[in-house]
């Protein structure tokens, strides 16, 4: 697992890969991607570039929050994985749930939520962050489901870096938005929930690549399988269905597999 830290010059640098039992305490970022050209990549950090990209603000936000929380390291998916190396990418996706689960802190950066109050005009009331929070794209993406459920500590921040609350203080709102049961939000083992119910939590979420709709559910069922981009959503879900069926400690599928 490759992490980020800030050096003495204030620049973000990548660590070497840590073996599982050697990984130091770290924070992890949950966010939605902008266009690829806006996100900071591993190559950018290796070459000392990328500071002019919009996505660099997320690194600055994490660096500041990590210091506030007394941590040194953090992980961001856009730049801590060598996506050109398919073996590394596959390992990362199969390990992702565990990486979020083991994080000391998970920071959710909501790029479409602001705490800046806008002046009321005519008869319209001021916009508040609560309404933007309910409509945030973060709740509509496939990968963010595991990023909500895996960590113990999930804190939500606006795009201006203001803390909005955490998974517990915003529990009522999150339950209403996602329809995920409160016990699951509070950390009850996901194996206690019916397979069909767990799949329904992702039913209305979207992924950029069709296969990721299935791959993003691997950690929810504590299973692993090879990634075969190009196989299409139907074949990806057939393989997921097969792996779930082969996983002896999963409850009986009452409602089938949905996708």
The pLDDT tens digits of the residues spanning 167-219 come to 999 999 999 999 999 999 999 999 999 999 999 999 999 999 999 999 999 99
Output the six-digit token pair for 106.
Answer: 């998970």
Q: Mean of the pLDDT values across residues 57-74?
A: 96
pLDDT level of residue 116 (50, 70, 90 thresholds): confident
For the cut 80, the answer to whether the pLDDT of residue 54 exceeds it is: yes
pLDDT, one tens digit per residue, over 217-237 is 999 999 999 999 999 999 999
pLDDT band at 120 (very low <50, low <70, confident <90, very high): low
Q: What's the confidence (pLDDT) of residue 126?
A: 45
Q: What is the mean pLDDT of residues 121-129?
A: 55
- Look at the alpha carbons of 64, 67, 69, 71 in this order and tell me if their dihedral is positive or negative: positive
Q: What is the mean pLDDT of the chain?
A: 90
What distance in Å separates the CA atoms of residue 76 and residue 87, rounded to the nearest whole number? 18
Instruction: Summarize the confidence of residues 85-91 as an average pLDDT.
Output: 95
Give the pLDDT band of residue 19 (cuts 50, 70, 90).
Answer: confident
Cα gap 167→256, rounded to integer Å: 29
Residue 101 structure tokens = 């689960």
pTM of the model: 0.90
Kindly state the average pLDDT of the residues 247-258.
47
Among 36-40, 71-75, 200-204, the least confident range: 36-40
pLDDT score recorded for residue 117? 64
The better pLDDT of the pair 196, 253 is held by: 196
What percent of the chain has a predicted confidence (pLDDT) above 90? 84
User: Across residues 30-40, what is the average pLDDT?
Assistant: 89
């Amino acid at each position: 697992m490759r992490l980020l830290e800030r050096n003495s010059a204030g620049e973000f640098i990548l660590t070497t890969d840590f073996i599982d039992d050697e990984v130091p305490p770290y924070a992890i970022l949950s966010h939605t991607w902008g266009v690829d050209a806006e996100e900071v990549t591993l190559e950018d950090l290796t070459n000392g570039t990328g500071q002019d990209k919009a996505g660099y603000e997320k690194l600055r936000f994490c660096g500041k929050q990590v210091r506030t929380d007394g941590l040194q390291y953090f992980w961001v998916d856009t730049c801590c994985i060598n996506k050109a190396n398919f073996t590394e990418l596959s390992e990362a996706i199969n390990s992702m749930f565990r990486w979020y689960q083991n994080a000391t802190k998970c920071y959710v950066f909501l790029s479409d939520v602001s705490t800046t109050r806008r002046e009321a005009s005519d008869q319209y009331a001021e916009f508040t962050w609560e309404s933007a929070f309910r409509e945030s794209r973060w709740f509509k993406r496939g990968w963010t489901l595991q990023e909500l459920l895996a960590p113990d500590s999930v804190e939500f921040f606006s795009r201006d870096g203001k803390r909005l609350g955490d998974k517990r203080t915003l529990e009522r709102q999150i339950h209403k938005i996602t329809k995920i049961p409160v016990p699951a939000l509070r950390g009850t083992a996901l194996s206690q929930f019916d397979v069909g119910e767990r799949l329904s939590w992702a039913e209305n979420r979207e992924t950029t690549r069709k296969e990721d709709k299935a791959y993003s559910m691997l950690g929810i069922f504590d299973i692993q399988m090879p990634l075969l981009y190009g196989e299409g959503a139907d074949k990806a879900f057939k393989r997921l269905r097969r792996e779930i069926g082969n996983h002896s400690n999963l409850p009986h599928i009452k409602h089938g597999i949905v996708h």
